[in-house]
Amino acid sequence: MCPPEHFRVTYSINPWMDLSKPVDVRLAMAQWSDLRDCYRSLGHTVDELTPHPDLPDLVFTANGGLVLEDRVLGARFAHPERYGEATVHEEWHRERGCVEFQRAQHTNEGEGDFAVTDRWLLAGHGFRSSPLAPQEAQEFFGRPVIALGLVNPRFYHLDTALCVLDDGTAGDGADGDGGSVRGREGSTVMYYPGAFSPGSRAVLERLFPDAIVAEEADALALGLNAVSDGHHVVLPQAAVGLLEPLRERGFEPVPVDLSELLKAGGSVKCCTAELR
């Protein structure tokens, strides 16, 4: 995570970013600190990236790359305003000593457009990441990649429209019937169908018949921009319609308020790069 010390809306590269709505940096800092402390209280380790005065969106660390088994596919940003962030992330990973770092050839905005399930990588394209990014990720990670077309500019990144909730192993506990509570059939996801092209929607229905399907209001609260550790699901508090469906499937929702970050089109997941 990266503290929003220099967070501002000084340019507009998605429909959420309204230059006439100033950001309250102190409030953003307080909300962000609550999110960091929330992760720590759940037992997770949080490393902090040093903020940079010229990179107001650096707070959205999910966009820096995709990390899987200590191999890192570094981002290549779509907009010049964010180009500089890729280097900050690369230096951080190299210093930390990842096994292999590769700066992508094709535009991809890291976990903004890549999600990891037990079996596949899901890759969004249409607004930011290139349609060639899925193939590049498949080659680099040696995992099958499912490319998904995004069609609604409010949901310009995959992580604004879909969240992977577990790795498909969490439900192996018995439900008393010799079955499992959830998960034996693979990862559970939640998503908003309206963000996807018709064909990609059909793919999601086919791959995830038991998914939590979000309503528009929860999607517009960026409720899908959540982070799950397989049990706790940290999500924007305004997405109240997701609470019950999550609980029904055995997850524990942990609502947080990131309203200031929403002014740049980001929330929980955007602020969180996961180091697998």
73: which strand partners?
A: 66, 102
Q: Which is nearer to ligand ARG, 186 or 274 (CB)?
A: 274
- The residues annotated with a catalytic role in the active site are 157, 270
Quote the least distance from Cβ 62 to ligand ARG, whole Å. Answer: 4
Site string for ligand ARG, 250-269 (x = CB under 6 A): --------------xxx---
Range list of β-strands (E), the chain? 65-68, 71-74, 100-103, 114-116, 121-125, 145-149, 162-164, 189-191, 212-213, 227-228, 232-236, 252-256
Binding to ligand ARG, residues 90-119 (CB under 6 A): 112
By the 8 A CB rule, do 89 and 65 touch?
yes
Residue 14 φ/ψ, nearest 5 degrees:
-155, 160
Q: Which is nearer to ligand ARG, 15 or 144 (CB)?
A: 15
Quote the least distance from Cβ 267 to ligand ARG, whole Å. Answer: 8
Distance of alpha carbon 52 from its chain centroid, rounded? 22
Is residue 263 helix, strand or coil?
coil
Interface residue with ligand ARG among 85, 159, 166, 229 (CB under 6 A) is 159
Quote the least distance from Cβ 72 to ligand ARG, whole Å. Answer: 16
Which has the closest alpha carbon to 186: 207, 158, 205, 201? 207
> 113: which 2 tokens?
């457009």
Residue 2 φ/ψ, nearest 5 degrees:
-130, 120
Interface residue with ligand ARG among 89, 93, 157, 263 (CB under 6 A) is 157
Position of minimal CB gap to ligand ARG: 270
Interface residue with ligand ARG among 5, 6, 10, 14 (CB under 6 A) is 14
Give dist(CA 274, CA 50) in Å, integer. 17
Q: Which is nearer to ligand ARG, 159 or 229 (CB)?
A: 159
Quote the least distance from Cβ 178 to ligand ARG, whole Å. Answer: 40
What residues make contact with ligand ARG under the rule CB under 6 A?
13-14, 17, 57, 60, 62-63, 82, 112, 157, 159-160, 264-266, 270
